[in-house]
Amino acid sequence: KIKAGYTNGVRVQMGKLEDFINTSCVTSLDFVFREDDDEDPEDKLMELLQSSSDFNQMSNFLSYQNIDYRYQKRYRIKKLAQIRGAVKRSYSYSHHASDSTIAQNILNSNPADDQDDQTDTNVLNHIRADEHTLSTSNRRDNLLRDKEVHDIIALLPHTSSIQDQADILHYLCMNKGIDFEFEHNGHHVTVRDLIQELYNRACNQRVWWCVRHCAGMLGMQNKSIAQSLIAILAQQKQLTIGLPPAPREHVLTSPITFEQLYNTIVAATGNDPTMVMLTQEILVFLHIFISTEPQLFAGMIRIRVGLIIQVMLGELKRTLQSSDEDTTDHLLNLSPYEIKCLLHIILSGKEFGITEHSTKPPPELADLSKQERDMRIIRNEIKEASTKKLSVHLNWGDHPSEDDDDDDVGKHGQWIRRRRLDGALNRVPVRFYGQVWQTLEKCKGIKIADYILYNSLTQEMTQEEIKFALRVEEALNRVPFTEYRQLIVEACVILTSIALGDNRFHLDEIISIEDIVSTANGIFLQDQLASGGDATKCCASGNPCGSAAGICLHFYDSAPSGRFGTINYFLRALLKLLHVDETSVCSIS
């Protein structure tokens, strides 16, 4: 049965262990409880906690069993008003879920300026110095009087909500420091002790946003992230931490120590403890995927963790039609396994958020709160998407796989979503940069978003040189909209296919890729008007749909192949710009 490839319905493969090691990855998340061979994790936790002499006195400090509801009613609301939401306000990604924000961050990035950039100690020290100055100023301005501190601490044992307890502890940590000590029942207790207690409670209840936030405040670290960086670099990829532009986004092009990498993450996330932990999680999962499924990263010269988190937020926001703040909450409430599955969905291009769960929630969810209902929908979507086959990435020049569903082309929103994903991930087809280099040999230059790649680059750099690829990326990153960026890439592929397919092709002029896209869009609208297509409801009838760069939304959502496919229109546009009669060449089916 093992040799046949299936055992009890499970796909298996037989081979030598030494052959499997190179394509396998075994790692863990250090801040999440792990199960040892012969020891129950709960027993291990209790043994660890009971080793503290103050455990018995402290273990019930945050317990909701001792709530005095009269005290809670007359006092709690007044004091909590000034600190409620402290944790959410600390999120550095809470306003980065929209497509426009992703576009602006991509526009602000400039890979050519930092192609040789390493994690500069002076830059990190400068950032830390600024943060320290700001933190010191905030503490001085918001210094709590002793009575206020005592009153806020007194709220903790009278508060049942993990959210409220986390807000209180975050407020105390930011204003008094994590090692601030006070007296409780004759025993000295620190804020760190209480955060540890809340962390243990959140782990047991699987309140994942609280687990991540408490772990971040406690400075917990995943020791394996340095190995994750090495695995990514070994695949000839670069890694960036944080959101564009530099110096907030840090480019890593060579191995660094674990301490340096952790400090880079802290600096890049603006000391946001939750995002420090989420970034480490994603690095661990990237290590797993690049070791076991390297094809997921084909066409990506840089793996940008900050933009990946933004894409995750964007997918959840699109699925639930929620606000930026709620979307951030939903993402952070996912378990590590669900984060891993969502990351795989993003990288593989699987369909997500278009099932009946997202459009028509089942009746059994009607009695749940909005947050619980949204989380149930998200988990259903992730579960369904994880079981689907890999989607077809935009490898222009290849037609969609025969394994695809027959109605894929007819799914509204499918292709614009794929283009947005690939644009945000900076994904290009395989051998794209080399083909652009070869095309530059046959023309004076290529113009993308007012940036010109001159043919002199072919004398300065080799075809496969990383510096040339980064120069092309610099031009592409000047395009502010992700879906428009991918149309630019698609048009470049058509141009290179013609240039490399005909030895007679040579132009003594600069070719504007944006002109090709604009002309193709115009031809598309003419065909739509003649055939009564969907675009007659907007752009073809003189009513612009307001999509990115003035290109019709229906053109963005067109499949590459077919009569109304983008390949057809890019080819026709190129022939028109080159003043070649379409009737003199073969028709395109």
Cα torsion through 250, 252, 255, 256, rounded to 10: -10
Contact predicate 261/240, CB 8 Å: no
Task: Please check whether residues 199 and 259 belong to one and the same domain.
Answer: no
Helices (H), 156-268: 162-176, 191-205, 208-217, 225-234, 258-268
Residue 421 sits in the same domain as residue 384: no
Count of the separate structural domains present in the chain: 3
- Within a domain: 452: yes
Q: Are 241 and 112 contacting, i.e. CB atoms less than 8 angstroms apart?
A: no
Is residue 351 domain-shared with residue 437, that is, in the same domain?
A: no
Residues 570 and 422 both lie in one domain: yes
pLDDT tens digit at each of 589 positions of the chain: 777 777 776 778 888 877 776 666 666 666 555 444 455 555 655 555 444 444 444 445 565 444 444 444 444 555 556 566 777 777 766 555 555 565 556 555 555 444 444 444 343 344 344 444 445 445 444 444 566 777 778 777 777 788 888 888 988 888 888 998 887 777 788 999 999 999 999 999 999 999 999 999 999 998 899 999 999 999 989 999 988 766 778 989 999 999 999 999 999 988 889 999 999 999 999 999 999 999 999 889 889 898 899 888 988 888 888 888 888 888 999 999 999 999 999 998 877 665 444 445 555 555 566 677 777 777 787 777 766 655 444 454 443 333 444 444 446 778 888 898 898 888 999 899 999 999 999 999 999 988 999 999 999 999 988 899 989 988 998 888 889 999 999 999 999 998 888 788 888 889 999 999 999 999 999 998 888 888 888 888 888 888 888 899 999 999 998 888 999 999 999 988 887 665 544 444 3
Going by C-alpha positions, the residue among 91, 87, 94, 93 that lies closest to residue 170 is 87
Residue 123 lies in a domain: no
Nearest-angstrom CA–CA distance, 401 and 391 = 9
For 265-285, write each residue's pLDDT tens digit.
999 988 889 999 999 999 999
Q: Do 209 and 231 reside in the same domain of the chain?
A: no
Task: Find the radius of gyration of the CA atoms of the chain.
Answer: 27
| Domain contains 128 | no
**CA proximity to 86, closest of 142, 31, 146:** 142
Q: What is the pLDDT of residue 83?
A: 67
Q: Is the pTM of this model over 0.95?
A: no
Considering the domain architecture, whether residues 489 and 431 belong to the same structural domain is answered as: yes
Residues 235 and 384 in one domain: yes
User: Is 183 inside any structural domain?
Assistant: yes
**Structural domain includes residue 500:** yes
Q: What is the pLDDT of residues 357-366, one digit of tens each?
A: 444 555 555 5
pLDDT number for residue 296: 92
Which residues does 314 contact at the CB level (< 8 Å), separation at least 6?
97, 98, 99, 102, 420, 424
What range defines the domain where residue 489 resides?
Answer: 416-584
Within a domain: residue 286?
A: yes
Same domain, 309 and 439: no
CA distances from 251 to 129, 226, 244, 492 (A): 20, 14, 10, 27
Whether residue 362 is found in the same domain as residue 441: no
Identify any residues that bridge with 302 across adjacent strands, giving them in sequence order.
238
Residue 317 lies in a domain: yes
CA-CA-CA-CA torsion sign (109, 113, 116, 122) = negative
**One domain for residues 297 and 437:** no
Q: Identify the domain boundary among 364, 396, 428.
A: 396
Give which of 495, 372, 486, 351 is closest to 429, Cα–Cα.
Answer: 486
**Is residue 565 in a domain?**
yes
Question: How far are the Cα atoms of 62, 207, 376, 469 from residue 373, in angstroms, in the given order?
Answer: 28, 16, 5, 45
Please tell me whether residues 166 and 256 are part of one structural domain: no
Domain end marker among 340, 367, 396: 396
pLDDT at 187: 78
Is 351 found in the same domain as 324? yes
Picking from 346, 361, 396, the residue at the C-terminal end of a domain is 396
